[in-house]
Amino acid sequence: MVRVRFAPSPTGFLHIGGARTYIFNWLYARQQGGTVVLRIDDTDLERNTEASRQSIFDGLGWLDLPWDELYSQSERAAPHREAARALVAKGVAYRDFTPADAEPDRAGARAGAPWLFHPGQREIPQAESDRRAAAGEPFVLRFYVPRGTRSEVLFDDAVYGPQCRSTGDIEDFALARSDGTPTYHLGSCADDVDLRITHIIRGQDHLANTFKHLLLFEALTATAPQFAHLPLLLAPDGAKLSKRRHGQVVSVTAYRDAGFLPHAFVNFLCLLGWSPKDNREVLRRDEMIALFSLQGINRNNAVVAYHENEPENWADPKAQWLNTQHLRGMPLEELLPHVERDLDAAGLWQARFGQERREWFAKTVDLIRTRYATLRDFSRLGAAYFGEMFHVEQTAAERLNQPGARALLGELAERLERTEEFTEQSVEREVRALAGERGVKAGVIINAGRAALSGQSVGPSAFAVFAAIGRERVIRRLRASAC
C-alpha cells in the first residue's frame, strides 16, 4: 500500500510551498488508495514554537484535506536511538569529538573543494571513542560516507529522472547532536523506515539531501522509498519565495483570512507545477484526484505572480480568478456555510438566517455571489442585504445625487407601499410608470434605487435587489434617501 508523508517543521507559519507539497502527497495517496501521514518534525527544540505548530494545523485544517495518521517526531525517540545504535554497531557512524567552535581544517584540501570531515576523527578506535563518550566528552555522531568503496549515489526521481552524485561531494553529515537529539537526516530516515513510507514527495530544495538519505536507508538495510521532487515556487523577480521577505503572499492562513475558498486555493496551488493533460484549470477535488499523476508534474519552477507594491491586490491573479469561478459555480448548499462564517465574523449573522429566513438567505447568496470574488465580499460589499449599516461607494453616491433622483425615490416609496404584491415584476412596473409620469428615463430611478438600497453602483438586476432587500426595508431606505 502507498504510504506518503508530509513532515513540516514548526518554525514558522505554513508556507504555500509546504501546502502544495501536502496537496500533491494527498492527491497521490487518495488516487492510489493509500495513507497520508502527517509527521511534525519538531526535533529542533531551539526554533520550534507552539504558535508555528498550531499554524500548521490551522492551515492544513482549512485546506480540508484530512490526514490519516499523525505523529510528532519529538515523541519518537526510541526508533531514533535504535537507528543510531545500529549505525554505530555496523561501523557506518562514528563519534566526532571536534569542539563545536573549531574551524573546519582545510589544510591540504584542493582549492574550492567542499568540506568533508574533521581530520583524525574517522580513525579514532572504537574503544577510545567509547571511553571518551563514557567520560562525558561532547561529540557529534556522523555518518561514515564510503568514499573509498563507492564512487557515486544514484536514484531515479519520479519528476526529474535519473540523478547522480559523487560520494566525494558528500560530507560526513551529522546524525545526532551533542545533546543526543537526532538531526533532520537521522530523524527523518528513521521515521520513514519505522512508518513504512513508500513515497517521499517533497521540494526540489531537498534534492541534495536525498543522496545522503539513500546512504542511510541502505545502511539501515531498508528499502528506499520512491522519490519525487517538486519544482520551486518563485517570486516574479525569480527569487525563491520566503517567509521573511514575501510575508502574507506565502502564508496559507493569509489566503484564508482574505476570503479564499479552501478548495479554490487547493486548485490554485495544484496548478503551480502540475496540469492535467486536457489543460482544464477549474477543477473539483474529485477531478484533481482522478487526473493527478507524478508524471504530470513539471520540472520548471513555478512563479507566483503577486503584486508586491499593491497591498490591496497582493494575491496572484490566477488565484483570484479561480476563487471567483468556484464561488460562482459551486453547489449553493456547499457555499452557504462559508458565507455564514464570514457574516458571523463580521457581526452580520442572525440566527433567523439559518431558521425561518433560511430560504431567503439561500436565494440572496445565490443572487449576489455572481458579482463577488471572495467570501469577504459578502460582508464587505453585501452588508446591505444582511444588516442596516453599509457603505455607499462614490459612484453610487453620484447616481443618488443626480438632479431630482432623491425626490423620485421618495415618490417610489409611496407607490411601493400601496402595491398589493412586492415582486421584481411589480417593482419594475411601478418604476417605469413613475418614470413615464415624470418624463424621466427609468434608468435614473433604477440607478438611484440600487445605490440607496445596496450602496453599490453595479450588481444583480436592480429589481432583484429590491425583492431581496424586502418591502419594509426598501421603503425605509428610499424614504431615508429622499431626505
HEC assignment per residue over 389-428:
CCCCCHHHHHHHCCCCHHHHHHHHHHHHHHCCCCCHHHHH
Query: Taking a C-beta distance cutoff of 8 angstroms, is the pair 236, 310 a contact?
Result: no
Q: Quickly count helices (H) and strands (E) in the chain.
A: 21, 12
The bridge status of strand 226-230 relative to strand 199-203 is: parallel
Residue 132 DSSP SS3: helix
Given the residues 240, 243, 318, 363, select the one marked as catalytic. 243
Residues in the chain: 483
Cell numbers standing for residue 237: 523577480
Residue 438 DSSP SS3: helix
Beta bridge partners of 23: none
DSSP one-letter code for 241: P
Task: Give the Cα-Cα-Cα angle 460, 465, 470 (nearest 5 degrees).
Answer: 160
Beta bridge partners of 163: 155
* Chain Cα centroid distance, residue 284: 16
Query: Taking a C-beta distance cutoff of 8 angstroms, is the pair 274, 296 a contact?
Result: yes
The bridge status of strand 35-40 relative to strand 69-72 is: parallel
Q: Which helix or strand (DSSP H or E) is residue 164 part of?
A: strand 161-166
Is 243 marked active-site? yes
Active site residues: 243
